[in-house]
């Protein structure tokens, strides 16, 4: 297996899962012979609103971003049984899991494995599309969004609901604990609405 073949599967994994999360793929590229930057997958929109209003929105954004970040490595593991070192992908996944912990109070060990399982299952279920993306990328070195979406058109959206539900549960748990701590600190009792007479 050459480094270019591994990189093609890596970027194809990102593109397939990116499209599966509802984002539009702008392009994927392969840079043969470049050991530091072997390829890239660019999604639209490039920027994501990082200030979600609700825990459900935060959970959805976080699960999608972590899924996208892990997809390249997991595509390689699925195809070859191992993956090369992709520090940038790990940093992206770590950044999003850190945001989930900060915003939602959700420790990564409680939900990130659910994202990994969902992505691995999704890639396995769509192995023909993954192979076709990788093969086309090896032939052309770049695929635009139209080409990518033609190949993945039959793929249904990825189901990240288990991870999203876990994130929301941890958020509600953390907010409940914070409310109880605040009530204890002020001497108030946080049991619910006052009885009416």
Q: What is the pLDDT of residues 113-170, one digit of tens each?
A: 899 999 999 999 999 999 999 999 999 999 999 999 999 999 999 999 999 998 888 8
pTM: 0.84
Q: Which residue has the higher pLDDT, 107 or 149?
A: 149
184 pLDDT tier (thresholds 50, 70, 90): confident
Q: Which residue has the higher pLDDT, 43 or 32?
A: 43
Q: What is the pLDDT of residues 58-98, one digit of tens each?
A: 888 889 989 999 999 999 999 998 877 666 667 777 888 88
Q: Where are the alpha helices (DSSP H) in the chain?
A: 3-20, 55-80, 87-104, 112-125, 127-140, 145-151, 161-186
Domains of the chain (ranges; CATH) run: 3-183 (1.20.58)
């Amino acid at each position: 297996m050459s480094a270019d073949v591994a990189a093609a599967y890596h970027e194809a994994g990102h593109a397939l899962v990116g499209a599966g999360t509802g984002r539009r793929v702008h392009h994927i590229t392969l840079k043969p012979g470049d050991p530091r930057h072997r390829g890239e997958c660019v999604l639209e929109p490039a920027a994501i609103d990082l200030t979600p209003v609700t825990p459900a929105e935060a959970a959805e954004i976080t699960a999608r971003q972590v899924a996208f970040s892990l997809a390249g490595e997991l595509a390689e593991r699925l195809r070859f049984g191992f993956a090369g070192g992709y520090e940038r992908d790990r940093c992206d996944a770590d950044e999003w899991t850190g945001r989930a912990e900060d915003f939602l109070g959700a420790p990564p060990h409680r939900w990130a494995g659910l994202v990994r399982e969902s992505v691995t299952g999704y890639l396995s279920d769509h192995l023909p599309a993954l192979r076709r993306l990788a093969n086309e990328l090896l032939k052309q070195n770049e695929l635009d969004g139209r080409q990518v979406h033609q190949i993945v058109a039959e793929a249904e959206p990825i189901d990240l609901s288990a991870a999203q539900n876990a994130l929301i549960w941890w958020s509600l748990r953390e907010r409940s604990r914070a409310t109880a701590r605040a009530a204890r600190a002020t001497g108030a009792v946080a049991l619910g609405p006052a009885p009416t007479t």
